[in-house]
Structure 1
Amino acid sequence: MSVRQVTAEERLTTSFALGAYAFEASPRSAARAEEFRGYLPYNKGNRTLVVEEGGTTLAAASAIPMRQNLRGEVLPMAGVAGVSSHPLARRQGHVRTLLHQLLDEMRDEGHQLSALYPFRPSFYARFGYVGLPKPRTVAFSPADLGELLAADLPGEVGWGRIGDGYQGWRAFTERCLNERHGFAIFPSYRDVGLRDRDEHWLLTARSGGKVTGAVLYRIDDHGGTLVADDLLATDPVARMLMLQFFGRHVDQVERITVQVAADELPELWLTDLAVHVEARVARPSAAAPMARLLSVDALAGLPAGPGRVRVELTGDRWLAGSYLLDGTTGTLELIGGTAATAGSPPAATLTAAGVSALAYGVLDPVEVGLRGLGEVPADAATELRRLFPRQVPYVVADF
């Protein structure tokens, strides 16, 4: 048995083939297999590792070099994708072997974070990943947007196909990356597939000539559903402009669905808006994202409250060690070595998932202890709560 990185052409018969069996209807047709070649340009910068034995690919996993916002800092992030194994080689440790080597290599190249969509969350929890909120799906009737149709809103909307508007879309998502905690974007070689496939309408909101909102959408049929992806808006006016546009489809579609962040409150958008808001999580087809720190250096320099605590990071391949976390200056200072044990600040023991949960803002320090992700005494919990106030990460990219 051996582990190696495959070339672009080799993906056609190794990782793509296993991934198709794991995540698509099967057996695949010859035409479907030929379609794989069209995916190669959008995977050219990915790192794909496979386990092989006797010329047979037993397992595969890829990492996409992405970027993600962590509490206001944009950091290199390894998006793990395409994790799959041969049906006769499952539960034999091959995926574990691949993930260890894949994350080793991505960390060595400077990726300080990692995120993924799990086939089973408990499996990836063993690798230090912790769950993040799943964006909500909001469904409503365009008829309920009627009060917006006559509203005189400042700004304007732009409309066209993503193939024509891709550059503006990409620029706006770069802005969101810099402004929204948890936001992640693909490298340009992957994201450009949106332009090349040209399968979406692009709606933008503008104010003062500047794009302030954007959403991709499709219409499945006359009398059907307008299916929108993430409704990205930098302010309430941008959101209202886009909803007003959707309201003009009242005689075309029966229903509208959009994706929004977990901290959005669609029930307050309009007075008579009847909405259904759902975040469905199920195995294996409707997973919520997970993420983890790959390096403690990801913490250094983050905005922080005035806390001070000593932490022992245990049981992890990449984060183990003792550190003093000091946020008294307003930015997080990370002190290791013997200096981390000097003095007598409150102390906590955290797993990789525990410290990742705090950094991403998804668990309170007390919850970290209750979930078995560390030992956090009350005084340490107080300091950690100051250092890492709760925040809601908004992970948009589905990889």
Structure 2
Amino acid sequence: MRIRRVSGDERLTTSFPLQSYAFDKSPTEQAVSAHYREFLPYHSGNHTLVAEEDGVTLAAASAIPMQQNVRGMVLPMAGVAGVATHPLARRRGFVRALLNQLLEEMRDEGNPVSALYPFRPSFYARFGYVSLPQHRSATFSPDGLGDLLRADLPGELRWRRIADGYADLRALTLRLLDERHGFAVFPDFRAVSLRDDRKWVVTAHVDGEVAGALSYRIDDHLGELSADTLLHTGPRGRALLLQFLARHADQVDRVKLGLLPGETPELWADDIRVATTADTRSAGSNAPMARVLSLDGLEGIAAGPVAITVDVVDDALLGGRYHLDGTSGTLAVDRSDAPAAVSLTAAGLSALVYGVLDPAEITLRGLGTVPVEAAEALRVLFPPRPPYVFAEF
């Protein structure tokens, strides 16, 4: 087996065919070629590795150079995607070898964290990833928002094709990146794929700033208005967007949109009847996962006023003993020879950093050994803080 990095047009004959077979419908050969070349620019900056035998590409994996907010600090993040194997080469260890090398290279390039959407969570758990909260969506009839049509709301709405409103939408996502733990954005070369999509976008403007945005499409008259996440910076921007949706009561039967964390759509209006779901039951709907690639790269994230020494075990990227000190209000990391108070796997450490598991759960889940007396220190150092991995564009 030979592992090497590919880029440019070489993707057309190496990684793209495997990814297309794994994730797309089976098209004709002519359609395959056109599809590949159309999407080639959106992959231009990806870090892509392929595994080969006798010159034949048998597996591929990519990392997208993204950014993610981790406890208030925006960090470089490796978004793993396009992991695929030739159907005759599966279960031979090609993907394991690719992922181990890919994560090491991304760490060495300065990415302290990584996230992905798994085809099977238990598979990526072996690589130190931990599951994060699933995205929630709300489905409702716009009739239920009728009260908002009579409200005199401050601000204004702008309704445009996505290509014309992309700059405002992108500006809002970058603002939310600075504000929300777990929020992630694609690099510009990938994000512009949304600008080139056939969607509408409505943006809410309050006090001269973009306070909300919703990209969407309508499948048919009296059908569904299917939207991406309802993005906003607060109640005013959200109310303007909901008022816009209320104006579609005679055009669509229902609206389905993604929700930011903490949203309570059942409280948006008196007469709204809404179904809120977080589906992980079907293929392709698994919750995101994330892991820490470098503890040193987390220096400066928000942390509680306590210090503790930890062993990170069974991980080639993170293995070692670290003194973690949050007494200044931000995390300081040093290598240490002092006795460790706890032992953590990479997934256990990642669960604490991302704020998704209590220290007591680390032991219960087999992700480390956390004595009772050390658990409280870890709760102070890394308080629970549910992340939201936004990465639509």
Aligned to 2:32: 32
Shift in Å at residue 256 of structure 1? 0.2
Is residue 254 of structure 2 the alignment partner of residue 280 of structure 1? Answer: no
SS of alignment partner, residue 57 of structure 1? strand
Shift in Å at residue 29 of structure 1? 4.1
SS of alignment partner, residue 196 of structure 2? helix
**1:117–1:398 contact (8 Å) kept in structure 2:** no
Provide the rounded CA distance (Å) in 1 between the counterparts of 2:2 and 2:257.
Answer: 45
Aligned to 1:83: 83
Select the residue among 373, 378, 386 that pairs with 1:384: 378
Cα distance change, pair 81–398 in 1 and its aligned pair in 2 (3 A) = farther
SS of alignment partner, residue 83 of structure 2? strand
Is residue 211 of structure 2 the alignment partner of residue 212 of structure 1? Answer: yes
Cα distance change, pair 283–91 in 1 and its aligned pair in 2 (3 A) = farther
Cα distance change, pair 237–224 in 1 and its aligned pair in 2 (3 A) = same
Paired positions, count: 393
Aligned to 2:8: 8
Where structure 2 has 5 or more consecutive residues not aligned to the other structure, the ranges are: none
Aligned to 1:48: 48
Shift in Å at residue 288 of structure 1? 1.0
Residues 190-339 of structure 1: pairs in structure 2 closer than 5 A: 190-197=190-197, 199-282=198-281, 284-338=283-337
**2:112–2:298 contact (8 Å) kept in structure 1:** no
SS of alignment partner, residue 384 of structure 1? helix
Amino acid at match of 2:333: L
Amino acid at match of 1:328: T
Is residue 348 of structure 2 the alignment partner of residue 354 of structure 1? Answer: yes
Using the size of structure 2 for normalisation, the TM-score is 0.97
Provide the rounded CA distance (Å) in 2 between the counterparts of 1:180 and 1:302.
Answer: 13
Shift in Å at residue 323 of structure 1? 1.3
Amino acid at match of 1:58: L
**1:313–1:320 contact (8 Å) kept in structure 2:** yes
Amino acid at match of 2:248: H
SS of alignment partner, residue 396 of structure 1? coil
Provide the rounded CA distance (Å) in 1 between the counterparts of 2:307 and 2:41.
Answer: 47
**1:139–1:275 contact (8 Å) kept in structure 2:** yes
1:67-93 Cα deviation digits (max 9, x unpaired): 000010000000000000001100000
Shift in Å at residue 319 of structure 1? 0.8
CA-based RMSD of the aligned residues comes to: 1.4
Amino acid at match of 1:82: G
Is residue 368 of structure 2 the alignment partner of residue 369 of structure 1? Answer: no
Provide the rounded CA distance (Å) in 2 between the counterparts of 1:196 and 1:284.
Answer: 27
Residues 43-122 of structure 1: pairs in structure 2 closer than 5 A: 43-122=43-122
Amino acid at match of 1:391: R
Using the size of structure 1 for normalisation, the TM-score is 0.96
Amino acid at match of 1:280: D
Shift in Å at residue 386 of structure 1? 0.6
Shift in Å at residue 398 of structure 1? 4.7
Shift in Å at residue 295 of structure 1? 0.2
Identity among equivalent positions (%) equals: 59
1:256-299 Cα deviation digits (max 9, x unpaired): 01101343222222222111000111353211110001100233
Provide the rounded CA distance (Å) in 1 between the counterparts of 2:80 and 2:43.
Answer: 13
**1:21–1:27 contact (8 Å) kept in structure 2:** no
**2:144–2:270 contact (8 Å) kept in structure 1:** no
Provide the rounded CA distance (Å) in 1 between the counterparts of 2:76 and 2:139.
Answer: 34
Provide the rounded CA distance (Å) in 1 between the counterparts of 2:306 and 2:60.
Answer: 42
Amino acid at match of 2:240: L
SS of alignment partner, residue 78 of structure 1? strand
Aligned to 1:135: 135
184-193 vs 301-310, which moves further: 301-310
SS of alignment partner, residue 192 of structure 1? helix
SS of alignment partner, residue 285 of structure 1? coil
Shift in Å at residue 27 of structure 1? 5.4
Cα distance change, pair 30–105 in 1 and its aligned pair in 2 (3 A) = same
**1:119–1:283 contact (8 Å) kept in structure 2:** no
1:158-192 Cα deviation digits (max 9, x unpaired): 11011011112111111111111101111101111
Where structure 1 has 5 or more consecutive residues not aligned to the other structure, the ranges are: none
Aligned to 1:173: 173
Provide the rounded CA distance (Å) in 1 between the counterparts of 2:282 and 2:342.
Answer: 33
Provide the rounded CA distance (Å) in 1 between the counterparts of 2:144 and 2:132.
Answer: 31
Provide the rounded CA distance (Å) in 2 between the counterparts of 1:311 and 1:398.
Answer: 35
Amino acid at match of 1:43: H
Cα distance change, pair 320–74 in 1 and its aligned pair in 2 (3 A) = same
SS of alignment partner, residue 52 of structure 2? strand
Aligned to 1:150: 150
Amino acid at match of 1:386: V
Provide the rounded CA distance (Å) in 2 between the counterparts of 1:331 and 1:54.
Answer: 50
Provide the rounded CA distance (Å) in 2 between the counterparts of 1:158 and 1:27.
Answer: 38
**2:168–2:203 contact (8 Å) kept in structure 1:** no
